Amino acid sequence: MVDPLGVTTDDLGGPYDAILALYVLINVRQRQTDLALTKIAAALRPGGSFYVSIQDSNGELPGDYRMVCWPHDEFSVRLVRAGFSIERHERHVDCDDHAWSSYIARKL
């Protein structure tokens, strides 16, 4: 059995060596993104890795599900402010012509 975990509301535990967040932070409202990144950083050991992807656009997109997007420059600033160094950034376009940014970041 798996219990749901809220990245902005629950204790994330740790310290972990790495955290993977694919298609996770796109569900966190923009105003709560800094909180989520700070909690993720706190759950990692010093030098721990964080791999995250986020749609490379701006704002909260309408639709059946919340889709929160960040431009690369703005999301990078948030990662650094939360206590990460960005080791690698890649941008790719999916089959629906949406741009995504993926980051490998390390906790300072």
pLDDT higher than threshold 90 for residue 66: no
Q: 10 Å Cβ neighbour count for 82?
A: 21
Counts of helices then strands in the chain (DSSP H, E): 2, 6
pTM exceeds 0.75: yes
Split at pLDDT 50, 70, 90, the class of 1 is low
pLDDT higher than threshold 90 for residue 23: no
pLDDT higher than threshold 80 for residue 34: yes
